[in-house]
Structure 1
Amino acid sequence: MSAQVEEVRLALGHIELAAHLFGPADGLPVIALHGWLDNANSFARLAPRLKGLRIVALDLAGHGYSAHRPVGAGYALADYAHDVLRVAEQLGWQRFGLLGHSLGAIISVQLAGALPDRISHLALIDGVVPPTLSEQDAAERLGLALQAQLRLDGKRKSVYATLEAGVEARMKGMVAVSREAAELLAQRGLMPVPGGYSWRSDSRLTLPSPSRLHPDQAMAFVKRIACPTCLVVAADGMLARHTALLEQLPFEQVTLPGGHHLHLNDAEGAALVADCFNRFFGIP
């Protein structure tokens, strides 16, 4: 990673988050939000290539070195958005950009739609809106989520005998990543435990959400966004097959080769995404 990287901890009152700082102190303020079960190292290849930006790459609550939510709390999208606003308040940033991947992109879109006057730029990587649900399935969805919460009490986290085994498990996760990407995520994600190593992420992050937005509600956030927005679609990622959704988006869209983690899997992918976002932010 770049020599410019600085590790910080942000005490927000209700929770403490860890973050990496990239770029000049007087650069355009940007908060970077990673994907589900990833951490701030998601931007380890990309952020040093972005010019003129002061990037605060968070470990979202429950991920990496950041604290977990209290017992009884959950990980709703609105709670993540609140965390981001608290970070901005602490840094004195009235207006700031958002750089989001996957879950981080979803949080970014919701925050930019909810408070359009606060967000100056929106740079998204293979994510826009959360999975949606029809009205008639809402009750069943809540029931499944409640049952899963009860079952979680009896589950134990996986323990890997070696660091290498933990890295290989991440490579083969729900969204596969390259070995290099898994190793970067493991730097902030794996911790020693009796018998080996386990991932730091809060087990509650794997629970199904108790509610989902109707498609019209999800698009309402998109329609309220007032800032310049650029969406990178990974050719082999999650969004490319959702052509109907992509056609509805009033955003600049750029399709680049690679999978869902194209900005992290290798240097070539990170360079392509950086070239796209450097043009988007337009800073010499």
Structure 2
Amino acid sequence: MEHASHEVRFTLPSIEVAAKVWGKPDGLPVIGLHGWLDNAATFDLIAPDLDGVYLVALDLPGHGLSGHLPAGGYSLWQQAATVLQVVESMGWDRFALLGHSMGAIISSILSASVPDRILGAALIDGLMPITSNADDTPAQMARFLEASLATSKKRKPVYVSPEKATTARILGGSMPLSRAAASCLVERGLMPEQGGWTWRTDPQLMLPSALRFTPKQAVAIVEAIRTPTCLVVASEGIFSRRPEASALLEQFQNLQIHRLEGGHHLHLEQAAPEVATIIDSFFKSLA
């Protein structure tokens, strides 16, 4: 694939969504979906090595260069619906998915829910959402509502330089992240503010989820996937911190699982060539 990307914008009924695009329109149509608080630049290292692919990597609502939603607007299912709106605007009947972390979870939801439209999905260190038992619903909703009221009173931090923002991204993340990987994501995630720099990201994305899938619902989603699915698992990634999810992987016969050494953002770090090779081979099998 060509190394250079270009920018596109999708004007949807309720929001404008930005994207980075690699490849030619006659290639395999693929939607790229990044992780929570990341953006389309998450695929910068692997996209150029995906031959014969037309990759449209979205900044999901609230992230990167995309618009923000009204109060209470973010959920996994809302983001999945946005993906379908983008696909409709391009006139794609069927398409493949490339997702990392939260983007991988959204890909699973789409694969299970609209299988006739999905050619296949390549997932990077993500598959199932964090879950809660049904009995926890009132307390979970209470946390969301309380935090929502507090968000309007908070101010975004302002950094004197992108380098300072990059350091904050490294120190503030829930998973280890190299400086090179953080710099890639931060460049697209910043905007000028008061003589310095602040995040473009919608502060609402930091709120607790109002609702979570139950464990049974999450398993049902993965079990419903019938389209080809490739999952890259990082040795020091999300599954290493969620043993209950890791234990479930072997029971899902519909997954092609590849285990690689690396952290949660291994596709932006030293393992990027290996990740690209696996995903390139997978997409070639779809084509």
Find the counterpart in structure 1 of residue 277 from structure 2. Answer: 275
Contact 1:42–1:184 (CA under 8 A) maintained in structure 2 = yes
TM-superposed deviation, 1:280: 1.4
Find the counterpart in structure 2 of residue 32 from structure 1. Answer: 32
TM-superposed deviation, 1:32: 0.3
Q: Percent identity over the alignment?
A: 50
Q: How far apart are the structure 1 equivalents of 2:188 and 2:80?
A: 22
| Structure 2 alignment gaps of length 5 or more | none
TM-superposed deviation, 1:138: 1.1
Find the counterpart in structure 2 of residue 167 from structure 1. Answer: 166
Aligned residue type for 1:192 = P
Q: How far apart are the structure 2 equivalents of 1:281 and 1:240?
A: 26
TM-superposed deviation, 1:101: 0.2
Kindly report which structure 2 residues correspond to 1:73-112, keeping only aligned pairs within 5 A, or say none.
Answer: 73-112=72-111
Contact 1:170–1:176 (CA under 8 A) maintained in structure 2 = no
TM-superposed deviation, 1:124: 0.3
Contact 2:131–2:218 (CA under 8 A) maintained in structure 1 = yes
Deviations, residues 72-124 of structure 1 (Å, cap 9, x unaligned): 24211111011100111111111100100000001010111111111001100
Q: How far apart are the structure 1 equivalents of 2:222 and 2:61?
A: 24
TM-score of the superposed pair, with normalisation by structure 1: 0.95
Q: How far apart are the structure 2 equivalents of 1:31 and 1:151?
A: 34
TM-superposed deviation, 1:175: 2.2
Contact 1:233–1:240 (CA under 8 A) maintained in structure 2 = no
Find the counterpart in structure 2 of residue 257 from structure 1. Answer: 261
TM-superposed deviation, 1:135: 1.5
Find the counterpart in structure 2 of residue 235 from structure 1. Answer: 235
TM-superposed deviation, 1:176: 2.7
Contact 2:3–2:22 (CA under 8 A) maintained in structure 1 = no
Q: How far apart are the structure 2 equivalents of 1:3 and 1:110?
A: 30
Q: How far apart are the structure 2 equivalents of 1:92 and 1:101?
A: 24
Q: CA RMSD in A?
A: 1.5
Q: How far apart are the structure 2 equivalents of 1:185 and 1:55?
A: 18
Contact 2:162–2:187 (CA under 8 A) maintained in structure 1 = no
| Structure 1 alignment gaps of length 5 or more | none
TM-superposed deviation, 1:195: 4.2
Find the counterpart in structure 1 of residue 139 from structure 2. Answer: 140
Contact 1:190–1:197 (CA under 8 A) maintained in structure 2 = yes
Partner of 1:239, secondary structure, is helix
Find the counterpart in structure 2 of residue 215 from structure 1. Answer: 215
Contact 1:117–1:226 (CA under 8 A) maintained in structure 2 = no
Find the counterpart in structure 2 of residue 245 from structure 1. Answer: 248
Find the counterpart in structure 2 of residue 184 from structure 1. Answer: 184
Equivalent residues, number: 281
Contact 2:3–2:48 (CA under 8 A) maintained in structure 1 = no
